[in-house]
Amino acid sequence: MILLGSTGSIGVNALNIAKQFHLSVDTLVAGRNITLLNEQIKLHHPKRVVVMREEDRSLVQHSNVYSGEEAILSAIEESDSNHVINALVGFVGFRPTLKALECGKKVALANKESLVVGGAFLDTSGIIPIDSEHFGLWYLHQGGRPVERMMITASGGAFRDWPLEKLSTATLEDALKHPNWSMGQKITIDSASMVNKLFELLEARWLFGEGQYDALIETQSLIHAMIDYTDGSTTAHFAHADMRLPIAYALMGKVDTPIVDRIDLTRVGALEFRPIEAERYPIWAIKDDLLRNPARGVIVNAANEAAIERFVRGEIRFIDISTMILNAYENFHLTPDSIEEIFVIDDEVRRYVRGLSC
């Protein structure tokens, strides 16, 4: 495999699957956790390693080390491996997805932004989703029964139980206190604002086609997806939140070996469901319009990434992230007619949000 984002949680789980099933690792691409990267190199012996920063190359204990985006694209193009796991975070993951599909490789996709910004231009037949929610939808949809609606679940994020009047005082430290698990900074902030779930609905729209899509909060994160069928019945995908399960299916197609522990419902006792309300998650106000106009995802993604950068630097409050996204969505009515225009719109929206006053 070619593994993009090897030192993140998905990358670590992918390498656990590689070890368990004796899968070879052709290329590792990592960010700044060079210590962990060097440990992965010793264990998996990749042919090539790519880091994001040139100054980190000398720290990598491998004889074939490159740096930067172009090196990632070259590794994808030159490798004999047919599987690319894209676990990069943010818009930076879009070009590698394009390159992998262009080269005829299968993409096990965890990089939400690829579909959010460019779903109209991607051949989704070459994409295997490894988000728990989309894997759950795929898993449930194998029977081919007529579908009325596809549903995914959300944890509710760090501010799920906060009094609404307190949200204006939320800090970066507060936003990173996810109620169910530990994730990277950006995705945890996206979970708190519900942008993450909005993106996952867009992903589902591109992966499974036009139809009805929605989400709700399931506080224990044991159900990841549900499908309402036209006959009035509903099925749900239960599993512990463990990325090894979708990764194993993405890499091997069929799995007959236990990957995760089965859920004991007698110990769970009860499940709690809540609606996602725009009063707590203002971004949810554009959900229906965005699903009707999914190509506008590039606007939301660019505004979100620019606003998060400002929040992390302490320039704006947490609640300003959603306000700035909604502002950009209202003021930009562009939809890309080509891949090149995606990058133009992305740049324009970022510059706009960076100049907004609070």
Q: Is the Cβ–Cβ distance between 123 and 134 less than 8 Å?
A: no
Q: Is the Cβ–Cβ distance between 281 and 154 less than 8 Å?
A: no
Q: Which residues pair with 106 in a beta bridge?
A: 83
Determine the pLDDT at residue 50.
97
> Domains in the chain, ordered, with CATH?
2-130 (3.40.50.720)
HSE, CB side, 13 Å, CA atoms: give it for residue 274. 15
pLDDT digits (tens, 9 = 90+) for 151-190: 999 999 999 999 999 999 999 999 998 877 677 889 899 9
Determine the pLDDT at residue 181.
66
Residue 229 phi, psi (nearest 5): -100, 160
pLDDT digits (tens, 9 = 90+) for 267-278: 998 999 999 999
Q: Which residues pair with 237 in a beta bridge?
A: 225
Alpha carbon distance 183, 354 (integer Å): 26
Name residues of the chain where pLDDT drops below 50. Answer: none
Whole-model pTM over 0.85: yes
Give me the DSSP letters along 224-260: EEEEEETTS-EEEEE--S-THHHHHHHHHS---S--S
Which tokens is 192 given? 């708190």
Smallest CA-to-CA distance from 139 within 148, 154, 129 is with 129
Q: Is the Cβ–Cβ distance between 191 and 132 less than 8 Å?
A: no
